[in-house]
Structures are given as C-alpha cells and as structure tokens.
Structure 1
Amino acid sequence: MNYSNFVAKSLPALLLGTVLFLQPNIAQANEMSPNIMSQCSAGYFCVWSGTNFTGQFQRIAATNSYRGITLTATKSYYNNRMQRTWLHSDPSGGGSSLCINPGAAKANTSGWQAEAEAAYLATVTSC
C-alpha cells in the first residue's frame, strides 16, 4: 500500500476516534441539564448558584489570571473549554483548589467547592 492510500484510509478512523473521545463529555453535560450548553458557550467556564445548573449564572473566559466568582454560592459548574480550569476557595487563588478537566461538569458541589470564590482558566489541556 502506498503512503497516499494509507493516509486516505487511516485519517477518517483517526478523526472518528478523536470525535468519539471528546463526545462523552458533551453528552454527559446534555444529560444533566437541557440548557447547560445554551447557557455555557464553548470557551467558557461556567458556574451556577443552584444545583443541577440552575439559579444565578456566571461565565468566565479570561485565561491566565484569577477571576472572582461573584455568585453567593457555586453549587454546579461546567468547563466548556479545551483547557483545564482551577477552582479556588480564595479570591486570590489561595486556599483549597480543584483542577477541572476540559468538558467536566458537576451538578452538585459540596464543602468548600460550594463556596468557591475564584477560577483560573489555564492554557494547559488537562489536569
């Protein structure tokens, strides 16, 4: 088999594998809330004041700096980015922290996460 035929036959399978690898996170987010994707556009880290992606809503897009979470609570979140996001208990990035992989969502936070005060949107892809 020559190189052109190999690439022509292998590339679609490789691309399909990539799509299948990324798809479960999107499907998981859609199952948790019908409007999670409409509220949290691609490229954003989003937090909600209520569980199951309800209540007040905040989108954060700036990278490489700590951004304050202005909600009274952080009861659910969705990282609709291709890079990781750090959730912090302190507004300046100190205290407890949690690394959130791309596509990850949590419908019901507890402990310090429910009162998180900052997010750091990194440019590195995974935790």
Structure 2
Amino acid sequence: MRMTRKLTAMAGGIALTGGLLAGSAGAAGAAPATPKAPSDCPSGYFCVWAGQNYTGHRQQVAGTNKDLTRYSVFQNFKSWYNHGAKCDFEWYSEKNHGGSHGVIPRGHKESDDVSHYIKSNKWVNCR
C-alpha cells in the first residue's frame, strides 16, 4: 500500500513513464542473476527488482496487463526503472486497471527501502 500512496503523491507532482512487455501482454519471469545497474533492464520494458539499488530478482513487463499478482516481484519490490522505448508506464493498485494509479515517465528510475507493489498496468503517452 505504501507504493500506492507514494506513487499517487508522485503522480500528482510529476508525470511518470513506463515500458511494454515484448510479444503478447504479460510479464517475464524473474531474472536469476543479480543485475548490476538499472540499465540491465531491456529497452522497451518496465522492470522491478526485489532489493534496493537494483539487486535481487528482476521481473519486467512490456505490454498492458490486467493482473500482475501472479508475479512475485511485482508484489514486493524496492527498485524500478521505466526503460520504455516510446511510452510512459501507468500502474494501478488493483487488478483490471482499478484502484489508485500513477504514471512513471519513460527513463525514470528509483530505489528505496520501502516495499512496493503493482497489480495491473497500461502504457500511455506514447510518442
């Protein structure tokens, strides 16, 4: 819930951007290796890491998703990066694009010590 509050507050002050899942909508599995930097997130994706400073398991999306709850890292992460190629990333606190939401701008990355979650997403403001 804290991410919901935090990202809602951020959305009120700035626009946020995101990336899409390659191929069909959905999420890629957790990456087994510990990434060295947010740039390890493939271009066109929104990536989350379980740990601070882009460490631990990584999961990524590159499409619109109505339900991200089956992907464990999206339910408990501390770092994120929108490496979207053309779009901003719109996140939702509930499945089926419900609840509170915010937009993470393309290129935005952040890490903190708070556990966050996202239950669904869309790509917006494509250019």
Calculate the TM-score normalised by the size of structure 2. Answer: 0.59
Structure 1 residues 55 and 118, CA, compared in 2 at 3 Å: closer, same or farther? Answer: farther
Structure with greater helix share of residues: 1
Q: How many residues align?
A: 89
Unaligned runs of 5+ in 1: 1-32
Q: Offset of 1:42 from its aligned partner?
A: 0.6
In the TM superposition, what are the counterparts of 1:47-126 in structure 2 within 5 Å? 47-63=48-64, 65-68=65-68, 70=71, 71=73, 72-81=75-84, 82-108=86-112, 110=114, 114-122=116-124, 124-125=125-126
The residue type equivalent to 1:37 in the other structure is S
Distance of 1:56 and 1:67 partners within structure 2: 19
Unaligned runs of 5+ in 2: 1-34
Aligned to 2:38: 36
Distance of 2:111 and 2:98 partners within structure 1: 24
Give the CA RMSD over aligned residues: 2.4
Structure with greater strand share of residues: 2
Q: Which has the higher relative contact order, 1 or 2, with Cα contacts under 8 A spaced 6 or more apart? A: 2
Calculate the TM-score normalised by the size of structure 1. Answer: 0.59
Larger radius of gyration: 1
